[in-house]
Amino acid sequence: MRTFTDWLRQRSEPDWTAVVTHPFTQGLFDGLVPVASMRSYLVQDYQFVDDFLALLGSALAKADRYSSRLAIAGSIAVVTSEENTYFRRAFDALGVGEADRVRPKLDEATVAFRELMSDTNARGSYAEVLTVLTVAEWTYLEWAMRAPAALPENFVHAEWITLHNNPDFRSWVRWLCRELDRVGADLDERDRARCLRLFQHATRCELDFFNTHWS
């Protein structure tokens, strides 16, 4: 039986496949992303952290049961610990100064995705918040799972892959999909359509972001 998340993903082609098989990710696997590209990619990606945490906080507040809040709280802990530590170490290795860490000039793709997160945080239902979170996390798991067993020597590349392909992250993404399936089962046609538009929009934002940092 096709799930709600399967339906959302299938209706978001070909952008979905373009994201999870993007040449940038193959460059990561091979350790061949140019330093300048990796630097700009991570600097821009770091600008999502605050908005992403706010979106997780919105999900925490809007969740309809305690067990859901516990799962979301666990993800907040990861973003503020392991992932944040990786960014600091990567920025040090790449020579990223303080201004570029906290006040860089934002690319159009970064602005667009931040606006989507902010708007969904402010106005979205629990299902809509889950939709954007699911795209952000599921696409990254999908591309990271394509990585070969032999990872690149440079930790900046290797750890970005393993941050998005490890047992805990896989479990979190599976939970997100199940949760969105559960909530989506009770949505009417109009709300399902709203979630689809958000899913497609977020997937396009992910694709635009990768495209910005690969040529």
Whether 110 contacts 44, CB under 8 Å: yes
Tokens of 212: 């910005």
Radius of gyration of the chain (CA): 17
The residues of the chain scoring below 70 in pLDDT are none
Write down the pLDDT at residue 2: 87
pTM of the model: 0.96
Question: Which residues lie below 8 Å from residue 6, measured CB to CB, with a gap of 6+?
Answer: none
Whether 185 contacts 130, CB under 8 Å: no
